[in-house]
Structure 1
Amino acid sequence: MKYKKVEKIYNSFKKEEFIEYFSKIGYENSKDLYVGDGWQVTVGDEGIRQFKGFSLPSVKLTIMVREDISDQFMRELMVSFLKGGG
């Protein structure tokens, strides 16, 4: 099977939120590396991003996912980390 590499930066989420999510759907293989069936994710360090006077937490995810499950995996990740505002 072929794998696809995706690097994605999430703003306004804390590192602990990603650790909790990936721990539920997989397991921690080593520090900040989570593994599941057909995927592995490295959760980067939490930083701060300035946006129009606001300080937001920022976390980079490095994702290796099997091509045949990549669309579903990325969709489930996106839905799990949607935030509404108003």
Structure 2
Amino acid sequence: MSVFDLAQTDPIEGAEPIPENPADAHQLSGDDPAGIAEAVTDWLTGQGWAIEHNQLGAGLNGYTSPDDKRIVIGLFSDEGVGVV
């Protein structure tokens, strides 16, 4: 899931360049029978990160604020469910 602007990254010497138009991120849907979202959330909060679920502007799925150790995840449905 893309959560940052690739222009904010530095290329790795000798690595293949990232395609100019990589596959667009898309919203995840469906069940999480393996509990991956909960496990990732637990691990991140254990590392001092805050996880928030908020309504975001059109086309935004979420973003990360490393300075604040905060991850904001968009609410994707009428029920207010977001995916980590």
TM-score range, shorter chain: under 0.3
Q: Please, what TM-score do these two structures have when normalized by structure 2?
A: 0.26
**Bigger Rg over Cα:** 2
Q: Please, what TM-score do these two structures have when normalized by structure 1?
A: 0.26
| Bigger relative CO (Cα 8 Å, ≥ 6 apart) | 1
More helix by share: 1
More strand by share: 1
